[in-house]
């Protein structure tokens, strides 16, 4: 199983081995090796990127030149520089692209819908790329719920198990044999197909991935 560490997240180092660090992510519980040059001294983030991709600009103005982008899920130390912008390391980000880390309460389906268009990437859990379990993990994170990182544990442990006959309701999580989706409405759900996170008919998901084996209400 594969996961990733996002910018602004802590990592508990257990062992140093050459150019790699063996440790555990306190965010999703994943254990493994990470390149040592990916780290810097820990600083306390204050906000999280809440749009699929947030431009980092040279100046607070929205017509300022772009210096790069931060993906949904990245954490930053942000200082408000104006009514419409925050200063972050390396530039400025629109204020409406960030949420305070101490006030995460997005609707689960809304968070999943924000990720539509993000590319599919095994082990990913951000707006820069994600897999099926990463979509569920990140949508729940924005709702203030810390869920298991991988599908088997999400399906077994997360929230309340619903009856097979229960209607599809926005915010439910559907688990298939080796896939998952977040219900957007009675007919549609957000999931990660072979290319990207998309909104698709639930009937089409069942035709592709087989029957829903478990339905959870976080």
- The confidence score (pLDDT) of residue 47 equals 96
Helix-strand-coil split of the chain, %, nearest 5: 20, 35, 45
Q: What angle do CA 158, 161, 167 make, to 5 degrees?
A: 120
0.85 exceeded by pTM? yes
Pairing outcome for strands 160-161 and 214-217: antiparallel
- The confidence score (pLDDT) of residue 36 equals 87
Q: Among 207, 92, 191, which residue's Cα sits nearest to residue 133? A: 191
Domain ranges of the chain: 1-40, 47-103, 108-217
Which fold is adopted by the domain 108-217? endopeptidase fold (from Nostoc punctiforme) (3.90.1720)
- The confidence score (pLDDT) of residue 186 equals 96
Q: How many CA atoms lie within 13 Å of 45's alpha carbon, on the beta-carbon side? A: 17
- The confidence score (pLDDT) of residue 10 equals 85
Per-residue pLDDT of the chain (218 residues; tens, 9 = 90+): 788 888 888 888 899 888 899 899 998 888 989 998 888 776 789 999 999 999 999 999 989 999 999 999 999 999 999 999 999 988 999 999 999 999 899 999 999 999 999 999 999 999 999 999 999 999 999 999 999 999 999 999 989 999 988 999 999 999 999 999 999 999 999 999 999 999 999 999 999 999 999 999 99
User: What is the CATH architecture assignment of 47-103?
Assistant: Roll (2.30)
- The confidence score (pLDDT) of residue 7 equals 82
What is the 8-class DSSP label of residue 17? E
Buried b (16+ CB within 10 A) or exposed e, 15-48: eeeeeebebebebbebeeebeeeeeeeeeebbbb
Which runs of E-coded beta strand occur in the chain?
A: 12-17, 20-24, 31-35, 47-49, 53-57, 66-71, 75-76, 79-82, 85-88, 91-94, 98-100, 125-126, 129-130, 160-161, 173-175, 180-183, 188-192, 197-201, 214-217
């Amino acid at each position: 199983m594969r996961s990733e560490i996002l910018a602004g997240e802590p990592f508990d180092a257990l062992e140093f081995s050459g150019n790699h660090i063996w440790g555990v992510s306190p965010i999703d519980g994943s254990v493994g090796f990470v390149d040592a040059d990916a780290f810097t001294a820990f600083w306390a983030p204050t906000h999280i990127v809440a749009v699929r991709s947030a431009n980092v600009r040279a100046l607070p103005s929205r017509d300022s030149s772009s210096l790069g982008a931060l993906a949904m899920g990245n954490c930053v130390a942000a200082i408000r520089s104006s009514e419409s912008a925050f200063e972050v390391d390396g530039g400025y980000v629109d204020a409406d692209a960030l949420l305070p880390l101490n006030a995460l309460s997005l609707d689960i389906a809304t968070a999943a819908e924000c990720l539509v268009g993000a590319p599919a990437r095994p082990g990913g859990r951000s707006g820069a790329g994600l897999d099926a379990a990463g979509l569920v993990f990140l949508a729940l994170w924005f709702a203030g719920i810390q869920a298991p990182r991988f599908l088997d544990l999400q399906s077994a442990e997360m929230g309340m198990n619903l009856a097979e006959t229960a209607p599809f309701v926005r915010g439910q999580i559907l688990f298939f044999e080796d896939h998952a989706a977040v219900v957007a409405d009675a007919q549609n759900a957000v999931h990660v197909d072979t290319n990207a996170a998309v909104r698709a008919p639930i009937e089409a998901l069942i035709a592709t991935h087989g029957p829903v084996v478990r339905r959870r209400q976080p």
